[in-house]
Every structure is written in C-alpha cells, then in structure tokens.
Structure 1
Amino acid sequence: MKISCEEASSICDKSQYKEASFWDIFKLRIHLLYCKACKAYSKKNSELTSMCDRAGLNMLSKDDKDQMKRDLEKKL
C-alpha cells in the first residue's frame, strides 16, 4: 500500500479537483502520516484551493477554449 512521493503529489492534485477516488485519498492520507514533505505540499495545495474558491475564479468552457484556439491559429 506504500506509495511514492510522486504518486502522492499526483493524488493530492487530483483531489484538489475532486478527481481522486476514495481509495487514492485513503492511500494519500496514510502516506501523509509519515512523509513531512508531502504533508507540507498537501497543506499548501489546500490553501491554494481555498484561496481560489474564495476568489470566485471561473474556468473557460471547452467551447470558449476551442474558439480562442481557432482565433490564435487564424492570427498566426
């Protein structure tokens, strides 16, 4: 059940966007019990997520992204 720090950071990032499974989050929490570096990374990641939520940041829709891409390609 032991995971690497690289995998732990990946799971941490996924959980920020609510894409991590229950099992992944469980493995991450076990890892955070003994890895201080990943625990600090997870804490900073949580703070960033909280700040973004409070700021009310919105993402572009897929259609908007596609339109921007087409506009850029026309200009090049």
Structure 2
Amino acid sequence: MNQGQEQFYNFILERVQEGKQDDAKALLSESFAKQADGSFNTEYMENFIPRMMAILKPECIEEVQNIMREFSQNMKH
C-alpha cells in the first residue's frame, strides 16, 4: 500500500458504518490489488462506488462521493 492508498484507507475507515469495517477493508484491498495489477479502470470504479457507498455512514456519503468523483476524473486524463 502506497502513501496515497494508506491515506484513502484511513479516510474511508473513519467514515464507515459501525460493524462494516471488515467489508470496507475487503473492498479497499480489492481496489488496491486492481491498481497494482493494472485492472483498475472506469468499469471497475462504476462497480466499486455503489458497493462502498452502501457501507458508509449516511452523513459521509456526499463527502466520499466527491473524493471518488475527483479521482475518477483524474483517471480519465
């Protein structure tokens, strides 16, 4: 896990619903593995985002969506 991934990991875990930390850790590990093997793409992001949104605290969803949207737009460049 690189420094950016570690920051994102900690950022997300602070915003996950109680009892959903293991789900978040699994999703994040999956996404980091895809980044490492080169299969992390827009199609994967479209699948990943709804799964992550489902386990976030309701009051944190908009904040995380904005971060993910920004990341997704940077991927397209």
TM-score, length basis structure 2? 0.29
The higher relative CO (CA closer than 8 Å, separation ≥ 6) is in 2
TM-score, normalization by structure 1: 0.29
Structure number with greater Rg is 1
